[in-house]
Structure 1
Amino acid sequence: MKLNPKVYKQLTGEPFETQEINGKNIEFHYMNDTPFLFQFASKGRFAIWTSDGNDYKVLIETKYYDVMKDFYQEEVNMIWLSFLERVGAISKKINMMFIIPTLIFYVLIAVVSTLLFPELMLQILLFMIVIVVISNMFQGRIVNKRVKEENKLAQDQIREFLGNSEFDELVKAQEEHYKEYFKFNVEEETTIEEDKTNNIENSEDEDGTKSD
């Protein structure tokens, strides 16, 4: 299954770590060394898995990796890789279950309406579009439900491997990283705003002096 393929293609630098799991190559790249830091980290996405459909590249924020390193060891990644592969297979299977019948039904209705009800062609096609949209929504819900189930299974397996204590510690470390990262950003923005205000005030003082 391809994951963020555009990001995958742009990660051409030297990885800081590589792993090989079940014949799949996994490269780790620091997000801080790429143009993607603001795009993902600003939304709280500190680790992004990408794939070309065969191998994987993980884009990860530097400090996040430092505090969550145990979560990316090979044994854990083996569990997560299995999860991604299962999700890809599930998504493909469900998509095929919906797409093929929908296309066949759409073509049949289009042919029948063209031959027997040409004057109602527009209304019938609009009706079919509504059916396709509803089908896609239903399909999406099924996929999301299955993904959540598989995600819970993977997390339970990771918890079992790491142990409850270490797993909970990693969860706490993750929460602390989120707080510290966004606290830093808020403080930085506040400082910038204060600097802007000071610059404006200084400019006004200078203008006043000149006018005298």
Structure 2
Amino acid sequence: MKKVHALLNSKQWDIGWISLGIILVIISTIISSNGNITLTTVTSFLGSIIGMTVVLLLANQSGKFATGLGVIGALFDTFNNYMFGLSGMMFVGIYAFFIYLKGFFSLGKQIAVTKVTKSNLIISLCIAVAGGVLLLTYGSTILPNNAPQWVIYCNALVFIIQVVSQYLMVEGKAIGWVGFTVINVINLCLQSYVYISGANPAALVYLAMTFMFLLNSVKALVLWYGFGE
């Protein structure tokens, strides 16, 4: 575990991870744009790069800088989802904006990992209930139409775990990364389904990107829980 910890905490890992991630974003942008560069093509590209940078910084327990950059990334996500007509996900972007804004003003240079409190659990429950209400109200703009029932359930589960985990992560709770790890595993299954069904030519790239995010969440688990120190 010491060797694993040292590897995941090294600059070489971070440079390799972000470099491969940027390559995958470029490939997916080229495939999805099909040679037609629009405003949303540019904002989606920038949002993806910023999003990857933010999660890498957060995995390394960067506080103020990571959440400050997260505020900018959330604005991109909100705009992109608005342009794509995804009302539900637009609200997730707004939610992320305020979560990151809170972190920017409350966190120091580095995130101090602390134990989950009763207050954290109550707030997490409230967020989960609010997320459920949002799904019921705007579910058609978040969940796919004409998809198998298990895909719909998985999307709903990912959505609720995501909003709770984001709150816990900014609060400095390592368990938030457990949630993100679960999300990435579920997303791997979803992306595999999309790729196998042949519904999206860029699905293989998104599948690879999801795997990259899974690697980052595993890195965060190792560092935040202190395994191998």
TM over 0.5: no
Report which of the two has the higher share of strand: 1
Q: Per chain length, whose mean CA-contact separation is higher, i.e. which structure has more relative contact order (CA < 8 Å, sep 6+)? A: 2
Q: Which has the larger radius of gyration?
A: 1
What is the TM-score with the length of structure 2 in the denominator?
A: 0.28
What is the TM-score with the length of structure 1 in the denominator?
A: 0.29
